[in-house]
C-alpha cells in the first residue's frame, strides 16, 4: 500500500483532529491545550517524545529499523490574534484564529507520524518530528534549536522539510516550491525624530520634527528604488506615524515604524546600514536628533536547490505533473523555518488549500478573518512528508 492510499484510510481522523485544533486556537509560545491535543494524538505510537522547557513544543523521534541518518519534518502550532468570521460550524470563538492554516499543518504532520510509524522497521534511519509554537511571533524555531531539536535523534539531521497551506493563490491540492529564497527576511525599524517644540505660528523659533519625519518616510521609498538591484528587491513599508497633539503646536518629537523585507543576506545588510545613514543625514540637515532602533527579525528562508529538486520530483512521481508547479518568485512573507534551513539543507513547500467553490485568485488570503482552508488536502500533505522522509533516508 502506498502512503497516498494509507493516508486516505485515516483521512477522517486527521480532518477531525484539524477541526478540534481549529476550534481552540492559542497564540505565541505557550500553547498548553494545543500541546495536550497533539500529545493525545501521538499517544501509543513508537516515539521518543520530549516537550519544550522554554515553550510548549513537542519533539518526537521515530527510530527506524535499519541504521541511517535522521530527517526532520516540521509543523507550526500557533494561531493569530484574529477574530474569526468564517461562519464555519467549527469556527473559533475565543478571539484567536488559525487564519494561517497551522491547524492543517499539525494534522498533516500527525498523519506523517502515523504513516511512518506503520513502516518503522523498514526505515533506513530516524525521523524527527518538530511541532513548533510561536511561528507568528516571537519565534519558536530558535528556542527549539537551542533545546536540541536538530540533534534529537543523535547525529544532526541531514535534511528538513515542511509544508505550508494557502487559502488563496494556488488551486486546491497543487504543490509548489522554488530553488533558493522562498521567503523574505523581515526586520523592523522604529524611529524617533527629536526637535524643539513651539507655537505653530512661529515655526522658525522651533525645531519641527514633523517635516523631517515626513521627508524620511519619502526618502526611504526613493532609497528602495535607487540603491537596490531590481532583481534583488527590498520592501520598506511605514505602517505607523505619530506626532503632535494640536493643530497649532509644534511637537518635540515624531515617531514612525516600518517593516523591512529583503530576499538576500547581502541586501539585508545593506538595508540595515543604509537606512541608518539616510535617516541620520536627513536629521542632521534639519538640525534634529534621531534615534533609530533597527530590530532584526527572521532571516531569508532559503531552499537548498538539490532538496527542492528532490521534493519536486517526489511529488510529481506521487501525483503527476499537474499537481506541481515551480514558483517563480519568493513570498514577501517571513517564516522562522528559515533558522532550520540555515543549518540543515531542506525544502519549504507550498500546498494550495482553497475552499471548495472559491476562486483562488479572489479568495480571502492567509491571515484574513474570513480565510477558509480545504481540509481535504491533509491526507496528501501527510503522504508527501512521509514519502520525502523515506526516500531521503534511503539515500543516506
DSSP state letters, 26-56:
--SS--HHHHHHHHHHHTTSS-EEEE-SSSS
Task: Quote the CA–CA distance of 21 and 40 in Å, as a whole number.
Answer: 12
Phi, psi of 93 (to 5 degrees): -130, 15
d(CA 386, CA 112): 5
Residues with catalytic annotation?
78, 135
Q: Count CA atoms closer than 13 A to 242's CA, side-chain side.
A: 7
DSSP label of 153: T
Of the candidates 29, 222, 228, 213, the one whose C-alpha atom is nearest the C-alpha of residue 131 is 29
Residue 270: what are its φ and ψ, rounded to 5°? -65, -35
Tell me which residue has cell 493525545: 40
Q: Is 165 left (phi over 0), alpha (psi -120 to 50) or beta?
A: beta
Surface-to-core class of residue 189, CB atoms within 10 Å of its CB (0-12 exposed, 13-18 middle, 19+ buried): buried
Distance, in Å, from the CA atom of 377 to the CA atom of 267, rounded to the nearest integer, reads: 36
Tell me if 371 sits within 8 A of 167, measured CB to CB: yes
Amino acid at each position: 500500500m502506498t502512503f497516498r492510499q494509507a493516508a486516505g484510510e485515516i483521512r477522517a481522523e486527521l480532518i477531525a483532529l484539524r477541526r478540534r485544533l481549529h476550534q481552540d486556537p492559542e497564540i505565541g509560545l505557550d500553547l498548553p491545550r494545543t500541546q495536550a491535543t497533539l500529545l493525545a494524538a501521538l499517544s501509543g505510537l513508537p516515539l521518543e517524545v520530549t516537550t519544550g522547557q522554554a515553550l510548549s513544543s513537542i519533539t518526537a523521534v521515530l527510530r527506524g529499523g535499519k541504521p541511517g541518518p535522521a530527517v526532520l519534518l516540521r509543523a507550526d502550532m500557533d494561531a493569530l490574534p484574529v477574530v474569526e468570521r468564517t461562519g464555519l460550524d467549527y469556527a473559533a470563538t475565543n478571539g484567536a484564529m488559525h487564519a494561517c492554516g497551522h491547524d492543517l499543518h499539525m494534522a498533516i504532520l500527525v498523519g506523517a507520524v502515523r504513516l511512518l510509524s506503520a513502516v518503522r522497521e523498514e526505515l533506513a534511519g530516524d525521523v524527527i518530528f518538530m511541532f513548533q509554537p510561536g511561528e507568528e511571533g516571537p519565534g519558536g524555531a530558535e528556542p527549539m534549536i537551542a533545546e536540541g531539536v536538530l540533534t534529537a535523534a543523535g547525529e544532526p539531521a541531514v535534511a528538513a522539510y515542511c509544508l505550508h497551506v494557502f487559502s488563496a493563490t494556488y488551486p486546491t491540492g497543487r504543490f509548489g516550491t522554488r530553488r533558493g529564497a522562498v521567503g523574505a527576511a523581515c526586520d523592523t525599524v522604529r524611529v524617533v525624530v527629536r526637535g524643539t517644540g513651539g507655537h505653530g505660528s512661529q515655526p522658525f523659533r522651533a525645531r519641527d520634527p514633523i517635516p523631517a519625519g515626513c521627508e524620511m518616510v519619502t526618502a526611504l521609498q526613493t532609497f528602495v528604488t535607487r540603491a537596490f538591484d531590481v532583481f534583488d528587491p527590498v520592501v520598506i513599508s511605514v505602517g505607523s506615524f505619530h506626532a503632535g497633539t494640536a493643530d497649532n503646536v509644534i511637537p518635540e518629537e515624531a515617531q514612525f515604524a516600518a517593516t523591512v523585507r529583503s530576499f538576500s543576506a547581502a541586501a539585508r545588510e545593506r538595508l540595515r546600514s543604509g537606512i541608518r545613514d539616510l535617516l541620520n543625514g536627513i536629521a542632521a540637515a534639519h538640525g534634529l536628533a534621531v534615534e533609530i532602533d533597527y530590530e532584526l527579525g527572521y532571516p531569508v528562508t532559503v531552499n537548498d536547490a538539490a532538496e527542492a529538486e528532490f521534493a519536486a520530483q517526489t511529488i510529481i512521481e506521487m501525483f503527476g505533473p499537474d499537481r506541481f508547479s515551480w514558483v517563480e518568485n519568493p513570498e514577501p512573507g517571513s517564516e522562522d523555518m528559515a533558522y532550520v534551513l540555515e543549518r540543515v539543507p531542506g525544502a519549504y513547500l507550498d500546498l494550495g488549500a482553497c475552499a471548495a467553490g472559491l476562486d483562488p485568485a479572489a479568495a480571502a488570503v492567509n491571515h484574513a478573518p474570513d480565510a477558509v482552508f480545504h481540509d481535504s488536502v491533509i491526507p496528501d500533505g501527510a503522504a508527501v512528508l512521509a514519502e520525502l522522509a523515506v526516500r531521503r533516508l534511503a539515500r543516506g
